[in-house]
Amino acid sequence: MFDHIVRHGILVTVTVLIICVLGIIAALRIPVQMIPDLEVRTISIQTSWPGATPQDIEKEILIEQEEYLRNIPYLEEMQSSANFGSAQIELEFPFGVDITETLIRVNNALTQVPSYPVNVDEPRVYATSFSANAFMYFRISPLEGNPRELDMDMMRDYVEDNVRPRMSGVPGVSQVDVGGGAARQIQIHMNPKRLAERNLTLDDVRTAIAQRNRDVSGGEIESGKRRYLLRTMGRFEDLDDLRELILARDGDGITRLADVAEVELDHFKIRNKSYVDGRPVLSLSVRRESGSNVIAIKEAMMQELVLINDELLNPEGMELQRTADDVVYIEASIFNVWKNLILGALLATAVMYLFLRSFRATALGVIGVPICTIAAFLGLLLAGRTINVISLAGVAFAIGMTLDNSIVVLESIELERRRGLKKLEAAVAGVRKVWPAVLASTLTTIMVFLPVVFIAEEAGQLYSDIAIAISASILVSMVVAITVIPAASARLSFSTNTEGESRNDHPLQARITDKIGWLIATPRRRVSCILLTVVVSGAIALLLTPPAEYLPEGEEPKTFAFMNAPPGYNLETMTEIGMELQDYFLQFVGDDPARFSRGETAVPAMSYLNMGIGPQSLRIISESTDPSQIDELMAALVRKYETYPGMRAFAARGSIISSNDGGTRSVNLDVSGADLGALFTVARAAYNRAEEVFDNPSIQTRPSSLSLGQPLLQVRPRWERAAELGLTTEDIGFTVAALTDGAFVNEFFLADDKIDIYLYNQQGPGASLDTLQNISIYVPGNTTLPLSDVAEVIETVDTSSIRRLDGRRSVTLNIIPPRSVALETGVGIVREEVVHYLQESGAVPAGVNLSISGAADQLDATRDALSSNYLVALVIIYLLMVAIFAHWGYPLLIMATIPLGIAGGIAGLALMNLLGAVTGKLGLGGFSQPFDMISMLGFLILMGTVVNNPILIVHRAISNLKEEGLLPVEAVREAVSSRLRPIAISTITTIVGLAPLVFLPGAGSELYRGVGVIVMAGIVGATIVTLTMLPSLTVMVLEWSERKGSSAVASP
């Protein structure tokens, strides 16, 4: 076979070029993203009920929906929340669930809900994942110097109808959300005096509108050759139609709606406000489709932005601008990986040249690098993957590994040349001698990733991109090594040593070989070496293994800072606070970052100030002009927030893996029970205890307030009086709603838009606490009475938001430990120092349960999956080597290096963090590399790579023993001597190839640096073990095997 390959060099060249062309096409076609698309396993249900209190939403919507949703198969968790005017349920399912089928089941369950109150919108059901988070942010604001004084809050409908469809039509965009402003509303302002004069009530008006505003289909009528569709028309066609509505007839007199009310097209009450750099705006956020190219989306969106401004907004006195986007960070991250990849390849090439001292030989050795890199893109395309930071890191990790096979084959061919064979014969003999070892090392590296397929958690989904990139590169590197290298070697003249220098005469190589020979010469030294290696490795594993994190956040230099107000705050009060904050922080927008570095300002320079204001909370999104100052900016925002009494402040960096609230480091403490008062009491105790046991933790609560402090007015009818007047609860409640905040009546179709019709009092929405008891209640008999005559108004307190977990009321504390505390340690502290402490101190009454969830659960599940799959990987490696060596015992020699290589990886991680701590103390910019689930992939890579060099030595030693008839000690000594040079080349090229990924920080490097550290240090440790403990162990096993064979022959 190899003779045929070597003789047909043109065929080999053409095949390689075809692979390269296909790979380049693949690289151009693969979508570009920040991280791989994560599997969708959460389904959200949103139900809107304008004007409804959380208490009514819980009873009328959540409990009803939960009753049918809880029976859906595979449901793991159900989180519900009731807020003013809206309900939301999040259903979480296990990894691997068929989300399409599950969506159908969810919709079917919701259809079983018997009924909803009037004015409850149809539930909106959609699947969500972190990959689908918004990644581009825009704003619409008035043009500078525009003479039209536009109220941006009133322009929402125009944006919804005209701008959003254009932006949604950009290829790759899945959804565009509009924030701020208010939707259109038809308002009917009733005149109570005129109503009473005509003996009409508000309910009469509602009934008249409902009876008139409908069309009725009448089927069809046939007449002759024609068929007619039949409809009875009743819907209002315009506002004049509504004004002319007949409410009552008294003799010849007709009362129309215009006689007792004024009708106008207006908007809902403003409940949220948005500002960017001090200007009121409407905000738009863009989400992408799964598998789409974010860079292509941005380019197309920016082109569409120009057209939207020219054709739609500028003529209306507005403009659309980009506020921020994650694409900048994505581009920087991908550029950083490309830079490190190219630098690593150049360094590896330089190392090869230093060893080979031949331009031709070096070029021949590294020719596989671009081929394997291109092949990796082809593999990603065939697997339906994307170009992202994770997959590119996999390509970079493979650079040093792809050189291993070429180095082994190249060295073997050169050895055959030095033995006197001609170029063609040396090429065939050289590749034939080492190809079993090359095959073994390649298959072990590839097959070790097979268990990744069975890791369903997010970490496994991130692993798979690295696995595919490395596997494709390594597989093609083997093909290049056994085809391209020998075919080219048969046609090129080169020498891999300096003139006159024997390959085994290098002083350093000779000294190393002599030391190894001395080490394996006596049984005592061999046993001592083995025991010392095992003890040191065990000590490293026991003493230096750090506590685990879940996933790296992939943090951008962007902050999301929240301020939650005590219950009862309104939008006007929060707007006043927001304007004060805006005035304070605007002075730092566009400032010189050096001023903060010199201590001249208390706040770092900010790129922009994006503020959102609601009645209960305020949110600022911003980026520091100098990315290194983002933590200081977060601290400054929190400090300023906390100057307002009673406010809770929380800030987190933007994340490309989880939601922007520290999700992958969050320890969720769920407090569940039936009594909200008891839940809030326990939650406050837990909050205070967490602040005691952690040094400055970030704690966010759901609900945002931990007290029953939301002012609530209860209208309690006087039942005897109401019965005397013929009034029902519905009559009183509808009248109270209409004459205060407005009451829904019906819907009006304006063009294709459905607009709500609301009844109001004559002054419009809004009634004061002083006038509430005096509002007029219409009663039969041409009479109006004050509300106080038929009902009692009681002022009390309740909660402004209700959270439910698996059908029970709950309060959740999202506790994010400080950076110095790993998630695993944080979970232990919360469990022992918070949960157990509160339980033992009697602070948790009967009926209240405490449980830990969030990233803590995912950490445990992922670690369990990794542990079991590591064992599967070990079994696969062993069986592969058994098949290649045709022996059940020899592979165990090779596998003995795996746990020792892992110990090297742990030691490397500890040294990396020690270096980061030292540089931090020296003021050189400290850093820390967490031991997260992505970093643990390094151990899986090590399992497939640390066996490569041991395979070379064991395979050569066995050949020396069987074919050359050498004694075990001499067989192993010669094996080490002959393989020392390729081992040194492959080890050093792999290390320098990984070095840029490990030691050059940059955007996105926190996602893969841990893997690089573990792989690099593990390979160093495994190489030391390969040249010390492995020869000792191999000699002992071969001697034992010979003695056993001799005994078998001697016995009769």
Residue 169 has pLDDT above 50, yes or no: yes
Average pLDDT over residues 752-759: 87
- For residue 617, the domain's CATH number is 3.30.70.1430
Task: Kindly state the tokens that stand for 4.
Answer: 């045929």
What CA–CA distances, in Å, run from 767 to 53, 89, 454, 508?
17, 32, 61, 92
Average pLDDT for the chain: 85
**Amino acid identity, position 494:** F
Q: Is the pLDDT of residue 698 over 90?
A: no
Residues for the chain: how many in total? 1052
Peptide bond before residue 451 is cis, with ω within 30 degrees of 0: no
Sign of the torsion formed by the C-alpha atoms of 1015, 1021, 1027 and 1031: negative
- CA 811 to chain centroid: 24
DSSP-assigned states of every residue in 337-389: HHHHHHHHHHHHHHHHHHHH--HHHHHHHHTHHHHHHHHHHHHHHHTT--B-H
* List of residues 6+ apart from 915 with CB closer than 8 A: none
- Gap between the Cα atoms of 366 and 353, Å rounded: 10
pLDDT (tens digit per residue) in 35-69: 777 777 889 999 999 889 999 999 999 999 999 99
Nearest to 1000 by CA among 903, 940, 925: 925
Q: What percent of the chain has pLDDT over 70?
A: 95
Quick check: 355 and 495 in contact, CB under 8 A? Answer: no
CB 243 within 8 A of CB 258: yes
Question: Mean pLDDT across the stretch 305-325?
Answer: 91
Is the pLDDT at 502 greater than 50? The verdict is no
The yes-or-no verdict on residue 343 having pLDDT over 60 is yes
pLDDT at position 99 is: 87
Q: Can you say whether residue 853 is alpha, beta or left, with left for phi > 0 and alpha for psi between -120 and 50 degrees?
A: beta
Q: What does the pLDDT average to over 1001-1020? A: 86
Average pLDDT for residues 248-275, to the nearest whole number? Answer: 88
What mean pLDDT is predicted for residues 947-958? 84
The reported pLDDT for the residue numbered 554 is: 65
Q: What is the pLDDT of residue 683?
A: 93
The one-letter amino acid at 240: D
Band the pLDDT of 1041: cuts 50, 70, 90: confident
CB count within 10 Å of CB 193 equals 11
Do 468 and 359 form a contact (C-beta atoms < 8 A)? no
pLDDT reported for residue 503:
47
pLDDT of residue 1048: 46
Closest CA to 383 of 331, 453, 316: 453
Q: Beta partners for 851?
A: 670
In a domain, 576, yes or no: yes
Name 495's bridge partners.
none
- pLDDT band of residue 767 (cuts 50, 70, 90) is low
Q: Which of 808, 849, 20 is nearest to 370 (CA)?
A: 20
- N-to-C CA span, the chain: 44
Residue 157 to residue 163: CA distance in whole angstroms: 10
For residue 11, the model assigns a pLDDT of 83
- Under 8 Å between Cβ of 990 and 372: no
What would the mean pLDDT of 143-157 be, rounded to a whole number? 76
Higher-confidence position of 109 and 766:
109
Residue 851 belongs to some domain of the structure: no
Strands 667-673 and 610-613 turn out to be unpaired
User: Which one, of 528, 328, 400, 327, lies nearest residue 1016 by Cα?
Assistant: 400
The predicted structure's pLDDT at residue 422: 82
Q: What is the pLDDT of residue 797?
A: 86
pLDDT score for 499: 40
Residue bearing tokens 């020498």? 495
The type of residue at 258 is A
Q: Among residues of the chain, what percentage have pLDDT more than 90? A: 29
Residue carrying the six token digits 């769920």: 670
Distance, CA of 425 to CA of 806 (rounded, Å): 73
In this prediction, residue 1052 carries a pLDDT of: 46
Give the per-residue pLDDT at 660.
52
**Among 382, 381, 375, 378, CA closest to 398:** 375
* Any domain includes 810: no
Confidence grade of residue 834 (pLDDT, cut at 50, 70, 90):
very high
Which residue range(s) make up the domain with 599? 555-655
The pLDDT value recorded for residue 470 is 86
Comparing 462-476, 490-504, 877-891, 958-972, the range with the smallest average pLDDT is 490-504
Cβ atoms of residues 775 and 713 within 8 Å: no
Question: Strand ranges (DSSP E) for 13-169?
Answer: 42-48, 77-83, 86-92, 124-128, 136-142
Q: Is residue 3 part of a domain?
A: no
> Looking at residue 798, what is its pLDDT?
87
Mean of pLDDT values over 602-611: 93
Task: Tell me the pLDDT band of 916, cut-offs 50, 70 and 90.
Answer: confident
Residue 1046: its pLDDT value, please?
57
pLDDT confidence band for 79 (50 / 70 / 90): very high
Residue 1012 within a domain: no
pLDDT of residue 983: 85
Give percent helix, percent strand, percent coil of the chain, each to the nearest 5: 55, 20, 25
**Backbone CA torsion sign across 508, 509, 513, 516:** positive
* Residue 352, pLDDT above cutoff 60: yes
Residue 24 domain-assigned (yes or no): no
Strand blocks (E) in 876-1002: none
In a domain, 598, yes or no: yes
* Rounded mean pLDDT, 606-611: 93
* pLDDT band for position 1047 (cuts 50, 70, 90): low
Whether the per-residue pLDDT at 506 is higher than 80: the answer is no
Residue 757 lies in a domain: no
pLDDT score at 241: 92
The count of domains in the chain is 1
Query: Residue 171 has what pLDDT?
Result: 92
Report pLDDT for 148. 65
Model confidence at 257: pLDDT above 90: yes
What is the structure's pLDDT at 684? 93
